[in-house]
Chains A and B, each alone.
Chain A
Amino acid sequence: MMEIQHGAPVYVKIDEYKDILDIVNLVKGKLNEARKTLDKINKLKNEEDSELNLWHSELDEIEKKVEYIDQTLFEPSNL
């Protein structure tokens, strides 16, 4: 019968130490790539937002011009 010493440090053996380090390094590389891709997506999203804002303002301008044409054509006295 083996004696059990309470409070003694317990260790776990790691068999594939090198492989684990390799995989951790690989995961780090993948995370780095993912961060770069996310930055690229963010940049594209910002460009898309700025384009949409521009289109929005242009649409407002066109709407105003059309409104002006409509009013002008239906009120010939102003001409």
Chain B
Amino acid sequence: MSFFDKILGKKSKPEMEKLELPPLPPLEKQSMPQHPAAPAPKKFELPELEPDRKIPTSRVEIKKTMPADITIPTGPPRVDPSHIKFPSMHTEHHEGARPELFGERKPVLKKPSFMQRAMQKPNMQPRPMPGAHPAPTFPGQMHHPAEQPVHHEEFRELHEPDKKALVPSHVDTNKPKFIDINDFRSILSNIGYIKGKLKESSDVLERLNDTKLEEDKAFEKWRLELEDVQRKMLFIDKSLFEK
């Protein structure tokens, strides 16, 4: 056992077993103040109901029971629903009635809903290709029906200013472009390789994230240990020098 163990009150197991437990402090009875006695509850007696009395239910019975000088207010006279004539829902009636009341009615343009706008096809014109040469035909080439090109309008809007700089000056963008099939294959294989590497990078990033979390936990634990050591050192300092 070292000095610090003695200072900090750490004792070995046999010594701990030898020590007797101190007696428990005596229980003190706390005297609570006496509350005044609550008054006895009053007894309420309900009056007995008359045996023959009936509760009036209809308007006629209520009138009979009430004094003559009191009158019950009556509602609007009942009208046979078959005689009620509702105005027609057609616009002719509204158009005829509204101008008298509110002046000339302006036509209200109904805003299309989100779904309608989403379903609406964009009004895109096919891109003009002035001076385009017809695509060369190769023997054995299969003729596919004309496909609609995929337009990336947002992408174009964002990167329109840099567009001209990207295309080499000697390349005419209006003409159709062809690349060798071997180059095309190598491009495809490179794209596949890049996709695989990106997937690997994503896995590595996930692992790094886990490592970072573990590192944060370790730092927190270490900080707590350092605080504990600091408290103990302060205690030693006080014990040694303040006596």
Contact = CB atoms under 8 A, between A and B. Distances in A.
Interface string A24-67: 01100000000000000000000000000000000000000000
A14 B181 CA distance: 11
A79 interface: no
Contact of A14 (B140, B152, B155, B177): B177
Interface string B171-206: 001001111110010000000000000000000000
A17 B139 contact: no
Given A3-B139, A11-B178, A14-B177, A22 B166 contact: yes
B163 A22 contact: yes
Interface in B119-143: 135-136, 138-140
Contacts, number: 66
Given A19-B152, A22-B159, A5 B3 contact: no
Given A15-B149, A25-B166, A73-B3, A8 B139 contact: yes
Contacts of A11: 136, 138, 178-181
Nearest to B181: A10
A3 to B, nearest CB: 6
Interface in A1-21: 2-5, 8-19, 21
Given A4-B140, A18-B173, A21-B166, A12 B3 contact: no
B27 interface: no
Given A5-B139, A22-B155, A17 B181 contact: no
B150 interface: yes
A42 to B, nearest CB: 13
B2 interface: yes
Contacts of B159: 22, 26
B139 A2 contact: yes
B2 A70 contact: yes
A9 B166 contact: no
A12 B179 contact: yes
Contacts of A70: 2-4
B50 interface: no
Given A11-B179, A12-B179, A18 B163 contact: yes
B86 to A, nearest CB: 60
B104 interface: no
Given A18-B167, A25-B162, A74-B3, A2 B181 contact: no
12 contacts: A10-B138, A11-B136, A11-B179, A12-B179, A13-B176, A18-B163, A21-B166, A22-B159, A23-B155, A25-B162, A26-B159, A70-B2
Given A10-B180, A13-B177, 12 more contacts: A2-B140, A11-B138, A13-B178, A16-B149, A17-B177, A18-B173, A19-B152, A21-B166, A22-B166, A26-B159, A70-B2, A70-B4
Interface of B: 2-4, 135-136, 138-140, 149-150, 152, 155-156, 159, 162-163, 166-167, 173, 176-181, 184
